Amino acid sequence: MHITQLNRECLLHLFSFLDKNSRKSLAKTCHKLLEVFQDPLLWSLLHFHSPAELKKDNFLLGPALKYVSICWYSERVKVCNIEDWMKNNFQKDFCNRHETTVNDFLLEVCNRCPNLLSLTLSGCGHVTDECILLLLKNCPNLKILKLENCVRITDQTLEAVTLYGGSLQTLHVDFCRNITQTGLERVREKRPSVMLRAERSANMIPDNKPEKKLMLEKASRKWVQL
């Protein structure tokens, strides 16, 4: 029996065992397999290992999508974690290549995947509070939000959770250095049912704006002179 003689349910089941690239390659072989590739039911879960994978055309976004993870475990993540005003030209050029990639992808998820249940982001140093806020507003069924090493995430995200995270059951904000204890306490107060974890976040050194940093340096020098 040729693979195309199988019914739709069997083909969907077979496709489910393949990674995104293999699914795309198989879909190119004939029209019937392309239709299977384009079936929304095939795309309930998406996992990415780097922002570069988000720009490929080997996946589909749709209302069937329930689980998304973008976990970038690379030495290059350290560059994204440097405060913007401290980056040299080489580091800025590197970040410019993918600075909006994850945010743009998440905005597409907001628009096309209203039934999302779980989002995990790790090493996504350019993800913003505004993007997470829109996601919480547009994906009202979101139950799990895990953020790790996302340096631009601040207490604004925690505030968005208190306002729009009505379905949220689990919230992780690990190693997010601009999260404060005050923000965490507010989540515990407003959303006591949420399983909240913030490993190291409130104990890390937060970013300081250049002008604030300069004022601290001046004050320090003045104190030494006295």
Do residue 84 and residue 140 come from a single domain? yes
Share of the chain above pLDDT 70, in %: 91
pLDDT tens, residue by residue, 49-72: 999 999 999 999 999 999 999 999
Q: Is a pLDDT exceeding 60 seen at residue 146?
A: yes
Task: Report yes or no: 37 and 45 within 8 Å, Cβ to Cβ.
Answer: no
Do residue 137 and residue 213 come from a single domain? yes
Do residue 129 and residue 184 come from a single domain? yes
From CA 140, how far away is CA 107, in angstroms rounded? 15
Q: CATH number of the domain that 215 lies in?
A: 3.80.10
More confident residue, 210 or 87: 87
The answer to which of 36-40, 83-87, 125-129 has the lowest mean pLDDT is 83-87
Task: Report yes or no: 194 and 216 within 8 Å, Cβ to Cβ.
Answer: no
From CA 121, how far away is CA 107, in angstroms rounded? 14
Do residue 22 and residue 62 come from a single domain? no
* pLDDT value of position 209: 61
The answer to which of 2-6, 35-39, 45-49, 111-115 has the lowest mean pLDDT is 2-6
Q: CATH number of the domain that 12 lies in?
A: 1.20.1280
Do residue 89 and residue 144 come from a single domain? yes
Mean pLDDT of 93-116: 93
Do residue 188 and residue 104 come from a single domain? yes
From CA 220, how far away is CA 56, in angstroms rounded? 50
Whole-model pTM? 0.86
Do residue 50 and residue 28 come from a single domain? no
* pLDDT value of position 220: 47
Three-state DSSP at 121 gives strand
Mean pLDDT of 191-199: 96
Q: What does the DSSP 8-state code read for residue 161?
A: H
Q: How many domains does the chain have?
A: 2
Residue with tokens 């945010």: 103
From CA 126, how far away is CA 118, in angstroms rounded? 20
Do residue 38 and residue 103 come from a single domain? no
* pLDDT value of position 42: 95
Domain range holding 218?
A: 44-224
200: left (phi over 0), alpha (psi -120 to 50) or beta: left
Do residue 123 and residue 86 come from a single domain? yes
R_g of the chain computed on alpha carbons: 21
